[in-house]
Amino acid sequence: MTAARVLVVEDDEDLRVAIAAELSGSGLRVREAGDLAEAATALTAGGFDCAVFDRMLPDGDSIGFVHERRQAGWAVPVLFLTARDSLADRVAGFEHGGDDYLVKPFAVAEMSARVHALHRRAGAGRPSVLRHEDLEMDCARREVHRDGTLLTLSDKEFAVLEYLLSRPDQAVGRDELIEHCWDTSTDPMSNVVDVVIRRLRLKLREPELIETVRGRGYRMAAR
Q: 90, 123, 156: which is the final residue of a domain?
A: 123
pLDDT for the residue 3: 67
User: For residue 187, what pLDDT is reported?
Assistant: 57
Q: What is the DSSP letter of 61?
A: E
Q: Are residues 98 and 151 in the same domain?
A: no
User: Do 93 and 191 share a domain, yes or no?
Assistant: no
For residues 35 and 116, membership in a common domain is answered with: yes
Residue 207 CB partners (closer than 8 Å, separation 6+): 223
Q: What is the pLDDT of residue 140?
A: 63
Shared-domain flag, residues 58 and 104:
yes
Kindly state whether residues 45 and 114 are assigned to the same domain: yes
First to last CA, the chain: 26
Write down which residue in 88, 123, 158 finishes a domain. 123
Total domains present in the chain: 2
- Domain with residue 103: its CATH number is 3.40.50.2300
Residues 67, 106, single domain; the answer is yes
CA distance 110 to 114: 6
Q: What is the spatial distance between Cα 48 and Cα 180, in angstroms, rounded to a whole number?
A: 9
- The answer to whether the CB of 145 falls within 8 A of the CB of 135 is yes
- 112 and 142 belong to one structural domain: no
pLDDT tens readout for residues 58-78: 999 999 999 998 887 788 899
Write out the residue range of the structural domain in which residue 172 sits. 129-220
Q: Is residue 43 domain-shared with residue 91, that is, in the same domain? A: yes
Tens-digit pLDDT profile for residues 158-187: 888 988 988 877 888 888 888 777 755 555
Nearest CA to 7 out of 35, 82, 83 is that of 35
14: left (phi over 0), alpha (psi -120 to 50) or beta: alpha
Please give the chain's pLDDT, 223 residues, in tens.
Answer: 456 789 999 999 999 999 999 999 888 889 999 999 999 988 876 678 899 999 999 999 999 999 998 887 788 899 999 888 888 888 888 888 888 888 888 888 889 988 988 887 766 555 668 889 999 988 767 789 999 999 998 888 988 898 898 887 788 888 888 877 775 555 556 788 999 999 999 999 989 999 999 888 999 987 6
DSSP bridge partners of 130: 137
Same domain? For 80 and 112 the reply is: yes
In DSSP terms, 218 is beta-bridged to 172, 212
* CATH code of residue 139: 1.10.10.10
